[in-house]
Protein backbone atom coordinates (compact mmCIF):
# COMPACT_ATOMS: atom_id res chain seq x y z
CA UNK A 1 0.00 0.00 0.00
CA UNK A 2 1.24 3.51 -0.76
CA UNK A 3 0.05 6.98 0.10
CA UNK A 4 0.95 10.07 2.04
CA UNK A 5 0.98 9.43 5.79
CA UNK A 6 0.67 12.14 8.45
CA UNK A 7 3.82 13.14 10.33
CA UNK A 8 3.39 14.68 13.76
CA UNK A 9 5.58 17.56 14.90
CA UNK A 10 6.48 19.18 18.18
CA UNK A 11 9.35 21.31 19.52
CA UNK A 12 11.73 18.45 20.24
CA UNK A 13 15.20 18.24 18.60
CA UNK A 14 13.99 15.23 16.60
CA UNK A 15 11.04 17.11 15.17
CA UNK A 16 13.11 20.22 14.41
CA UNK A 17 15.70 18.09 12.59
CA UNK A 18 12.91 16.34 10.69
CA UNK A 19 11.36 19.63 9.57
CA UNK A 20 14.67 21.21 8.54
CA UNK A 21 15.71 18.11 6.60
CA UNK A 22 12.28 17.96 4.99
CA UNK A 23 12.95 21.37 3.42
CA UNK A 24 15.98 19.92 1.63
CA UNK A 25 13.94 16.91 0.54
CA UNK A 26 11.20 19.20 -0.76
CA UNK A 27 13.71 21.17 -2.83
CA UNK A 28 15.08 17.98 -4.36
CA UNK A 29 11.57 16.74 -5.04
CA UNK A 30 10.80 20.05 -6.75
CA UNK A 31 13.94 19.65 -8.85
CA UNK A 32 12.72 16.20 -9.90
CA UNK A 33 9.38 17.71 -10.89
CA UNK A 34 11.17 20.37 -12.97
CA UNK A 35 13.10 17.62 -14.76
CA UNK A 36 9.79 15.92 -15.62
CA UNK A 37 8.42 19.22 -16.94
CA UNK A 38 11.52 19.75 -19.07
CA UNK A 39 11.16 16.23 -20.46
CA UNK A 40 7.58 17.03 -21.45
CA UNK A 41 8.78 20.13 -23.32
CA UNK A 42 11.59 18.13 -24.91
CA UNK A 43 9.21 15.38 -26.05
CA UNK A 44 6.82 17.98 -27.47
CA UNK A 45 9.62 19.71 -29.36
CA UNK A 46 10.85 16.38 -30.68
CA UNK A 47 7.41 15.31 -31.93
CA UNK A 48 6.51 18.67 -33.46
CA UNK A 49 9.97 19.05 -35.00
CA UNK A 50 9.80 15.60 -36.57
CA UNK A 51 6.21 16.12 -37.78
CA UNK A 52 6.41 19.67 -39.07
CA UNK A 53 10.01 20.03 -40.21
CA UNK A 54 11.36 16.46 -40.32
CA UNK A 55 13.87 17.74 -37.77
CA UNK A 56 13.74 15.83 -34.44
CA UNK A 57 15.72 16.95 -31.40
CA UNK A 58 19.32 15.87 -31.77
CA UNK A 59 20.21 13.22 -29.19
CA UNK A 60 16.67 13.01 -27.83
CA UNK A 61 17.12 9.45 -26.54
CA UNK A 62 20.40 10.38 -24.86
CA UNK A 63 18.81 13.31 -23.02
CA UNK A 64 15.91 11.14 -21.83
CA UNK A 65 18.24 8.40 -20.65
CA UNK A 66 20.31 10.84 -18.58
CA UNK A 67 17.19 12.49 -17.11
CA UNK A 68 15.79 9.19 -15.86
CA UNK A 69 18.18 9.10 -12.89
CA UNK A 70 17.17 12.61 -11.81
CA UNK A 71 13.42 12.07 -11.90
CA UNK A 72 13.69 8.60 -10.34
CA UNK A 73 16.02 9.40 -7.43
CA UNK A 74 15.67 13.07 -6.47
CA UNK A 75 12.35 12.47 -4.74
CA UNK A 76 13.20 9.17 -3.07
CA UNK A 77 13.93 10.61 0.39
CA UNK A 78 10.89 12.92 0.23
CA UNK A 79 8.69 9.91 -0.53
CA UNK A 80 10.20 7.97 2.37
CA UNK A 81 9.43 10.81 4.77
CA UNK A 82 5.84 10.96 3.50
CA UNK A 83 5.42 7.20 3.86
CA UNK A 84 4.67 7.03 0.15
CA UNK A 85 6.73 4.03 -0.93
CA UNK A 86 4.78 0.88 -1.77
CA UNK A 87 4.92 -1.59 1.12
CA UNK A 88 3.08 -4.64 2.39
CA UNK A 89 1.45 -3.51 5.63
CA UNK A 90 -1.42 -5.93 6.01
CA UNK A 91 0.18 -7.02 9.31
CA UNK A 92 1.45 -3.75 10.76
CA UNK A 93 -1.94 -2.03 10.40
CA UNK A 94 -3.19 -4.41 13.11
CA UNK A 95 -0.30 -3.67 15.50
CA UNK A 96 -0.20 -0.89 18.06
CA UNK A 97 2.14 0.67 20.57
CA UNK A 98 5.69 -0.48 21.17
CA UNK A 99 5.36 -3.69 19.13
CA UNK A 100 4.44 -1.69 16.05
CA UNK A 101 7.41 0.66 16.47
CA UNK A 102 9.79 -2.24 17.05
CA UNK A 103 8.70 -3.77 13.74
CA UNK A 104 9.02 -0.40 11.99
CA UNK A 105 12.48 0.12 13.48
CA UNK A 106 13.64 -3.29 12.28
CA UNK A 107 12.34 -2.69 8.75
CA UNK A 108 13.94 0.76 8.68
CA UNK A 109 17.29 -0.68 9.78
CA UNK A 110 17.08 -3.26 6.98
CA UNK A 111 16.34 -0.50 4.47
CA UNK A 112 19.26 1.50 5.84
CA UNK A 113 21.63 -1.45 5.42
CA UNK A 114 20.48 -2.01 1.82
CA UNK A 115 20.78 1.71 1.09
CA UNK A 116 24.36 1.82 2.38
CA UNK A 117 25.29 -1.07 0.09
CA UNK A 118 23.67 0.74 -2.85
CA UNK A 119 25.54 3.95 -1.98
CA UNK A 120 28.83 2.08 -2.10
CA UNK A 121 28.06 0.37 -5.41
CA UNK A 122 26.66 3.45 -7.14
CA UNK A 123 29.61 5.57 -5.95
CA UNK A 124 32.02 3.13 -7.58
CA UNK A 125 29.91 3.25 -10.73
CA UNK A 126 30.08 7.06 -10.77
CA UNK A 127 33.84 7.13 -10.14
CA UNK A 128 34.43 4.67 -12.95
CA UNK A 129 32.30 6.70 -15.40
CA UNK A 130 34.03 9.94 -14.37
CA UNK A 131 37.55 8.53 -14.59
CA UNK A 132 37.15 6.99 -18.07
CA UNK A 133 35.06 9.86 -19.47
CA UNK A 134 32.05 7.68 -20.19
CA UNK A 135 29.50 9.25 -22.53
CA UNK A 136 26.25 8.45 -24.32
CA UNK A 137 26.27 6.75 -27.71
CA UNK A 138 24.59 9.37 -29.89
CA UNK A 139 25.77 12.87 -28.97
CA UNK A 140 28.44 11.93 -26.42
CA UNK A 141 26.75 13.40 -23.35
CA UNK A 142 28.87 12.75 -20.24
CA UNK A 143 27.11 10.16 -18.09
CA UNK A 144 28.75 11.00 -14.76
CA UNK A 145 26.20 13.70 -13.70
CA UNK A 146 23.35 11.19 -13.94
CA UNK A 147 25.44 8.57 -12.16
CA UNK A 148 26.42 11.04 -9.44
CA UNK A 149 22.81 11.84 -8.56
CA UNK A 150 22.23 8.22 -7.53
CA UNK A 151 24.70 8.02 -4.60
CA UNK A 152 23.88 11.60 -3.56
CA UNK A 153 20.14 10.90 -3.44
CA UNK A 154 20.71 7.60 -1.66
CA UNK A 155 22.91 9.33 0.92
CA UNK A 156 20.08 11.76 1.65
CA UNK A 157 17.74 8.78 1.93
CA UNK A 158 20.15 7.15 4.40
CA UNK A 159 20.10 10.30 6.55
CA UNK A 160 16.30 10.27 6.46
CA UNK A 161 16.31 6.62 7.55
CA UNK A 162 18.62 7.50 10.44
CA UNK A 163 16.19 10.23 11.51
CA UNK A 164 13.34 7.75 11.37
CA UNK A 165 15.32 5.24 13.41
CA UNK A 166 15.73 7.97 16.01
CA UNK A 167 11.98 8.55 15.90
CA UNK A 168 11.17 4.87 16.30
CA UNK A 169 13.60 4.45 19.21
CA UNK A 170 11.93 7.40 20.90
CA UNK A 171 8.50 5.88 20.18
CA UNK A 172 9.57 2.55 21.69
CA UNK A 173 10.83 4.31 24.80
CA UNK A 174 7.74 6.47 25.26
CA UNK A 175 5.05 4.10 23.93
CA UNK A 176 1.79 5.34 22.46
CA UNK A 177 0.40 5.32 18.95
CA UNK A 178 1.30 8.86 17.83
CA UNK A 179 5.08 9.36 17.78
CA UNK A 180 6.79 12.42 16.34
CA UNK A 181 8.94 12.56 13.22
CA UNK A 182 7.84 9.32 11.55
CA UNK A 183 4.98 8.56 9.13
CA UNK A 184 2.03 7.15 11.03
CA UNK A 185 0.59 3.85 9.89
CA UNK A 186 -2.90 4.23 8.41
CA UNK A 187 -5.30 1.41 7.61
CA UNK A 188 -6.50 0.87 4.05
CA UNK A 189 -9.88 2.50 4.65
CA UNK A 190 -8.41 5.66 6.18
CA UNK A 191 -5.81 5.93 3.43
CA UNK A 192 -8.40 5.49 0.69
CA UNK A 193 -10.60 8.14 2.30
CA UNK A 194 -7.75 10.65 2.58
CA UNK A 195 -6.71 10.05 -1.04
CA UNK A 196 -10.31 10.52 -2.22
CA UNK A 197 -10.60 13.75 -0.22
CA UNK A 198 -7.31 15.01 -1.63
CA UNK A 199 -8.47 14.32 -5.20
CA UNK A 200 -11.83 15.99 -4.59
CA UNK A 201 -10.22 18.91 -2.77
CA UNK A 202 -12.39 18.36 0.32
CA UNK A 203 -9.64 17.62 2.83
CA UNK A 204 -8.60 20.35 5.22
CA UNK A 205 -5.81 18.28 6.73
CA UNK A 206 -2.16 18.13 5.71
CA UNK A 207 0.49 15.54 6.11
CA UNK A 208 2.13 17.49 8.94
CA UNK A 209 0.17 17.69 12.18
CA UNK A 210 1.25 19.66 15.22
CA UNK A 211 1.50 17.47 18.29
CA UNK A 212 -0.22 19.13 21.26
Domain chopping of the chain, boundaries: 10-188
The mean per-residue pLDDT over the stretch 92-111 comes to 88
More confident of the two residues 85 and 123: 123
Q: What pLDDT does residue 3 have? A: 55
More confident residue, 101 or 210: 101
Q: What pLDDT was estimated at residue 194? A: 64
What is the tens place of the pLDDT at every residue in 56-96? 999 999 999 999 999 999 999 999 998 877 777 777 777 78
Please give the Cα distance from 150 to 119 (Å, whole number).
8
Q: How far apart are CA 16 and CA 181, in angstroms?
A: 9
Query: Which pLDDT belongs to residue 2?
Result: 53
Residue 203 above 50 pLDDT?
no
Q: How confident is the model at residue 144 (pLDDT cuts 50, 70, 90)?
A: very high
Q: What is the pTM of this model?
A: 0.84
Stretch 140-153: mean pLDDT? 96
**Is 52 a residue whose pLDDT tops 60?**
yes
Residue 98 has pLDDT above 60, yes or no: yes
pLDDT (tens digit per residue) in 150-160: 999 999 999 99
**Does position 121 have pLDDT exceeding 60, yes or no?**
yes
- Map the chain to HEC letters: CCCCCCEEECCCHHHHHHHHHHHHHHHHHHHHHHHHHHHHHHHHHHHHHHHHHCCCCCCHHHHHHHHHHHHHHCCHHHHHHHCCCCCCCCCHHHCCHHHHHHHHHHHHHHHHHHHHHHHHHHHHHHHHHHHHCCECCCCCCECHHHHHHHHHHHHHHHHHHHHHHHHHHHHHHHCCCCCECCECCCCHHHHHHHHHHHHHCCCCCCCEEECC
Amino acid sequence: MAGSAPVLTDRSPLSLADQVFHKLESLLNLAGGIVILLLVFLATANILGRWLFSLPVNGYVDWVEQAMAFLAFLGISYTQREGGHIRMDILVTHLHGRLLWVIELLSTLIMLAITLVLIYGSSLHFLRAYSIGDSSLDINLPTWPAKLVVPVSLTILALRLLLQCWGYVRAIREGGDRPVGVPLVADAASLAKSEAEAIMGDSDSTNVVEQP
